């Protein structure tokens, strides 16, 4: 079919008013010719995209192209119109071999699949099976059934044959139809189809999520690279999204997910100064949004909380797996020993003993609000439920009297034995 004839065919089935038909045709033909001159040729789907883009740009009308027929439907209409083998109702007559092939095929289909196949034949789509024979069907049964099911998925009878996205634009329709042709094995993606137009990738990614995978928008964060590869979209993912399903989903649903809510986050997201900023943001999100805690309750958060929120990779990359370091980085007002669990890494520090003494002294003076003279009244139970109790146990054989005597040298002495021991303040 001549490319200019195809332009006329598209316009004949569009919503362009009669008085603007000639101008729409002339603009479309010029653009098609320019495409041929620039790249040496033009495919049918490109003619369709150029023409419908002209319609939507220069001749907008209310609900324009919402009911426009698809490129495949246009081709079929032209075929039916010009075929000398069509009957009065516009249906192609099937030969006996074709009929037997259909009967044989239907024996291996479900009732729904048989109904769909009958619908195709009765609505002028019999050219799809005009070359089928029983022998061919028998040898390629699985492939034929697989293709039929794919067509049913792309073009369910209860829905429009074209998937509508945010706008009923001709460009979106053309992009989806191009992808469907590729999936059906009828063609390949045009050269530079994704490289020059990231919008094409966004349209196809949303179609993949919502129509092919049937994935609700709030579950899109489980999309993987395999989902793209399985459907021939690995090149698109690599070219447009740097092999990152995260970038693909956020392109379709911006601001709907945090990066760390995805099943796989690039290590680079947590690297460097920017990565540390991301880590602090993620930690605050965990405490305040995910766990619903007040800032002062951040000391109760444990590493298990990070793991359950899929933030363990962040802990490992940014904080060597230490939850206390992450929390201390996000909430600098806390001392390390204020947290629910003191990390093992704390004891690897060169100043661990000095920091432990500082922690115990801080607890006595800040948390218990005691003066030096009042320290003689401190009891073991005053340390229950605090991280400081573990420091006293590790450094002072679980004796708070030894701890106070050591931390305040020359101020106290211990008198008595066993349980009768007491702290005496030296004047």
Domain residue limits, the chain: 71-154, 192-257, 268-345, 352-425
> How far is residue 277's CA from residue 282's CA, in Å, rounded to a whole number?
9
pLDDT given for residue 65 in this prediction: 40
pLDDT given for residue 284 in this prediction: 94
Residues 6+ apart with CB under 8 A from 300: 293, 340
pLDDT given for residue 89 in this prediction: 42
Q: What is the pTM of this model?
A: 0.47
Average pLDDT for runs of 10 along the chain of length 427? 75 71 83 78 78 71 42 48 40 54 75 72 54 78 81 64 41 80 81 76 90 87 90 90 89 86 82 91 93 88 90 89 87 74 62 79 84 85 78 84 87 80 78
pLDDT given for residue 77 in this prediction: 43
Locate tokens 């206390």: which residue?
A: 324
pLDDT given for residue 79 in this prediction: 47
């Amino acid at each position: 079919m001549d490319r200019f004839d195809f332009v006329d065919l598209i316009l004949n089935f569009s919503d362009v008013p009669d008085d603007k038909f000639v101008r729409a045709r002339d603009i479309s033909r010029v653009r098609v010719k320019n495409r041929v001159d620039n790249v040496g040729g033009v495919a049918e789907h490109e003619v369709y995209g150029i023409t419908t883009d002209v319609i939507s740009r220069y001749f907008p009308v209310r609900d324009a192209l919402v009911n426009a027929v698809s490129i495949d439907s246009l081709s079929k209409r032209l075929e039916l119109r010009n075929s000398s083998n069509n009957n009065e109702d516009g249906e192609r007559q099937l030969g006996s071999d074709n009929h037997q092939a259909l009967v044989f095929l239907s024996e291996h289909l479900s009732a729904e699949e048989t109904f769909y196949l009958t619908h195709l034949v009765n609505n002028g789509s019999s050219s799809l099976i005009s070359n089928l024979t029983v022998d061919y069907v028998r040898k390629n049964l699985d492939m034929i059934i697989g293709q039929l099911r794919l067509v049913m998925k792309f073009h369910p009878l209860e829905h429009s044959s074209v998937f509508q996205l945010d706008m009923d634009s001709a460009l979106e329709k053309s992009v989806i139809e191009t992808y469907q042709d590729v999936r059906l094995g009828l063609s390949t993606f045009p050269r530079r189809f994704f490289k020059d137009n990231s919008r094409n990738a966004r349209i196809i990614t949303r179609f993949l999520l919502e129509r092919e995978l049937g994935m609700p928008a709030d579950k899109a964060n489980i999309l993987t690279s395999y989902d793209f590869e399985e459907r021939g979209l690995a090149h698109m993912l690599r070219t447009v999204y740097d092999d990152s399903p995260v970038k693909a989903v956020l392109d379709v649903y911006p601001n709907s997910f945090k990066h760390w809510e995805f099943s796989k986050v690039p290590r680079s997201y947590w690297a460097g100064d920017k990565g540390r900023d991301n880590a602090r943001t993620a930690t605050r999100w965990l405490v305040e949004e995910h766990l619903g805690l007040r800032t002062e309750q951040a000391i109760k958060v444990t590493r298990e909380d990070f793991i359950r929120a899929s933030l363990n990779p962040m802990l490992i990359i940014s904080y060597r797996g230490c939850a206390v370091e992450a929390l201390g980085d996000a909430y600098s007002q806390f001392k390390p020993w204020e947290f629910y669990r003191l990390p093992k890494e704390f004891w690897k520090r060169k100043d661990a003993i000095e920091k432990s003494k500082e922690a115990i002294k801080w607890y006595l003076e800040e948390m218990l609000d005691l003066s030096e003279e009042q320290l003689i009244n401190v009891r073991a139970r005053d340390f229950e439920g605090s991280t400081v109790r573990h420091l006293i146990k590790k450094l002072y054989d679980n004796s708070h009297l030894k701890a106070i005597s050591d931390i305040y040298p020359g101020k106290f002495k211990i008198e008595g034995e066993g349980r009768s021991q007491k702290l005496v303040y030296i004047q």
